[in-house]
Chain A
Amino acid sequence: QQQVKQSPQSLIVQKGGISIINCAYENTAFDYFPWYQQFPGKGPALLIAIRPDVSEKKEGRFTISFNKSAKQFSLHIMDSQPGDSATYFCAATAGGTSYGKLTFGQGTILTVHP
């Protein structure tokens, strides 16, 4: 019940295209859903996050879509650039005694071709 399932494992898009990564969860206690971006040799860095009281959040070229009833959320990267090539992780956490306990997806390796 603690798992967060992420797909696809890898994704190749052309420069200017749209990258879409999907995640699904089971634990209805999750109330915070961040996306992290990780470059080789670096730690994950927060990209964008959403709470379940909204269905969409946009920051620049990055958008999270959230479907509470389906227990799914996705990351959309518009106008993908070669510099976006990295590994992306979705994550989820609940409050209360589970505060801060991020459960990560398996990761998606994104490659953007020039």
Chain B
Amino acid sequence: EAGVVQSPRYKIIEKKQPVAFWCNPISGHNTLYWYLQNLGQGPELLIRYENEEAVDDSQLPKDRFSAERLKGVDSTLKIQPAELGDSAVYLCASSFGPLAGGKETQYFGPGTRLLVL
């Protein structure tokens, strides 16, 4: 079974440029998460989707970050414009939905490593 797929794996951009990350979750997983992981830290949730609906985006810096999950499958996370402090790993994860009876394990993709110069 294929895991969570993310692309690109690495991205280097100049500050003030836009950048986008793509995620394809595990087939059948209704819930999709975007996390930010700074070096030496645990992941921090940015946004959670249930199908197409963003049900928790309280930690998403909405002035420069946006996300979408069209058709409830793939998702894109965008930063515009990028700042130096955005350099980090952006992780996507997926799981079965809250009605799945205890199947709340989140499966993470390999992440996109962003470096803003």
Contact = CB atoms under 8 A, between A and B. Distances in A.
A55 B28 CA distance: 32
Interface residues of B, number: 23
Nearest to B105: A46
Contacts of B77: none
B111 A43 contact: yes
Interface string B25-69: 000000101000000111111001000000010000000000000
Nearest to B32: A100
Contact of B43 (A44, A93, A100): A44
Contact of A41 (B91, B98, B108, B110): B110
A106 B110 contact: no
B108 A45 contact: yes
B33 A100 contact: yes
Nearest to B9: A41
Give the interface size bracket for A toward B.
20 to 34
A101 B41 CA distance: 16
Contacts of B14: none
Given A43-B4, A100-B98, 7 more contacts: A43-B109, A93-B104, A99-B104, A100-B33, A101-B48, A102-B43, A102-B45
12 contacts: A6-B42, A41-B110, A43-B4, A43-B91, A43-B93, A44-B43, A46-B106, A46-B107, A49-B105, A100-B98, A106-B40, A107-B40
Interface of B: 4, 31, 33, 40-45, 48, 56, 91, 93, 95, 98, 104-111
